[in-house]
């Protein structure tokens, strides 16, 4: 079915995003896989094309388009290339940007945002801890007041872009007596004494994503690097999770749709018992179900994007789009592997890598179980 939420400007922007992907990402995928990171050149080119400052006002180097559908279009085009690349770029321009724009002081915006938009600075968000998982209120990283600033101690893990980030938004406990109401956000910058990166984590999938551990040992952070209000960090995070989750949903369904279309072409060509695999009734019915499911999910996600763009996407509806799109993506890609037969289990085949890459989407941005818990509570259960 035709998607009806885009206009001519969105279509023109999609063409530009696709050109960037075809020129700067697709030819270098093997390099990214081997190095387990996206090199700085790809970031700089994305910045040059204006893809990293979509939510940033023009005076700080962005385009401030004021239309989330442009974020959606860029995420979709990158997701068609790799779910991993989409997560790396998404954390930067879609998740971190609102923190800097909404919460930053004038001085902070001038200091960080121009290079954020150009790709000279890469951003990460340090929320998850080794013992915390989805429980953001249980942070153990601490920041204690000192003369002119704060002393940060603790660690974070599973941090996307953690291997190369120049700016890391770190959530730390500033008042242990207040629980979730005693958390503050800080911006840790590359080169600060006491800031160290751990190894690149050896993940099941998303190989191209430079995911790592971060360590803070007696790291002094000046008051100028406090982001937002003191002790309101948990609220700041909660207020911005809806965009992170609808963004995850956008990438989930775009990735699944792309691999499904590639699989349909594959089963048209693959022969068994003298006919194409796709012509077997079971496979034909299965593919019909999958195509319908992704189109229904796409319509649901598109509706969520429009709601977010109009500032009426609730946290519960964002949770619905996140968990359902992750569920559908994994179901579709598992079927795509099966339709490829033994070749679907080979790393050289894109479908195998996509299948691995998708699994984490049921865990990050709040696990699917947590999403269902939020939905259940909203129903009075």
Decide if 356 contacts 204 (C-beta within 8 A): yes
Active site residue 217: no
Active-site residue identified among 244, 265, 295, 369: 244
* 147 contacts: CB under 8 Å, gap ≥ 6: none
Buried b (16+ CB within 10 A) or exposed e, 89-119: bbbbbbbbbbbbbebbeeebbebbbbbbbbb
For 227-275, the three-class secondary structure string (H helix, E strand, C coil) is ECCCCEHHHHHHHHHHHHHHHHHHHHHHHHHHHHHHHHHHHHHCEECCE
Decide if 124 contacts 96 (C-beta within 8 A): yes
* 241 contacts: CB under 8 Å, gap ≥ 6: 315, 318, 365, 366
Residue 33: exposure state from Cβ atoms within 10 A (0-12, 13-18, ≥19):
middle
Task: Write out the DSSP string of 270-331.
Answer: -EETTEEGGGSHHHHHHHHHHHHHHHHHHHHHHHHHHHHHTT---HHHHHHHHHHHHHHHHH
Q: What share of the chain is helix, strand, coil (3-state, %, to 5)?
A: 60, 15, 25
Can you tell me the distance from the alpha carbon of 117 to that of 53, in angstroms, rounded to the nearest whole number? 5
The residues annotated with a catalytic role in the active site are: 244
């Amino acid at each position: 079915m035709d998607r009806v939420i885009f206009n001519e400007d969105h279509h023109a922007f999609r063409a530009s995003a696709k050109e960037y992907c075809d020129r700067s990402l697709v030819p270098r995928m093997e390099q990214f896989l081997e190095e387990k990171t996206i090199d700085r050149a790809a970031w700089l080119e994305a910045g040059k094309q204006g893809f990293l400052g979509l939510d940033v006002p023009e005076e700080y180097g962005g385009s401030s388009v004021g239309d989330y559908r442009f974020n959606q279009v860029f995420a979709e085009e990158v997701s068609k290339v790799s779910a991993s690349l989409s997560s790396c770029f998404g954390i930067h321009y879609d998740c971190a940007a609102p923190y800097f724009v909404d919460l930053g002081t004038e001085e902070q915006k001038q200091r960080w945002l121009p290079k954020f938009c150009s790709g000279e600075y890469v951003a990460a968000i340090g929320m998850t801890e080794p013992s915390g998982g989805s429980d953001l209120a249980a942070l153990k990283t601490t920041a204690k007041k000192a003369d002119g600033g704060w002393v940060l101690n603790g660690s974070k893990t599973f941090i996307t872009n953690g291997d190369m980030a120049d700016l890391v938004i770190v959530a730390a406990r500033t008042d242990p007596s207040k629980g979730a109401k005693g958390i503050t956000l800080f911006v840790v910058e590359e080169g600060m004494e006491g800031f160290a990166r751990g190894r690149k984590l050896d993940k099941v999938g998303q190989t191209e994503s430079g995911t790592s551990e971060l360590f803070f040992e007696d790291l002094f952070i000046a008051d100028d690097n406090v982001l937002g209000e003191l002790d309101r960090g948990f609220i700041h995070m909660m207020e911005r999770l809806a965009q992170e989750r609808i963004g995850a949903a956008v990438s989930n369904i775009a990735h699944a749709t792309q691999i499904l279309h590639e699989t349909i072409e594959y089963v048209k060509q693959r022969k068994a018992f003298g006919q194409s695999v796709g012509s077997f009734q079971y496979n034909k019915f299965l593919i019909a179900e999958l195509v319908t499911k992704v189109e229904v999910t796409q319509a649901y996600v598109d509706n969520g994007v429009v709601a977010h763009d109009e500032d009426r996407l609730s946290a519960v509806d964002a949770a619905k789009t996140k968990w359902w799109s992750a569920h559908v993506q994994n179901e579709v890609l598992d079927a795509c592997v099966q339709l490829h037969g033994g070749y679907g289990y080979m790393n050289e085949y894109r479908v195998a890598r996509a299948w691995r890459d998708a699994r984490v989407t049921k865990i990050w941005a709040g696990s699917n179980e947590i999403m269902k818990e939020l939905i259940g509570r909203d129903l009075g259960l």
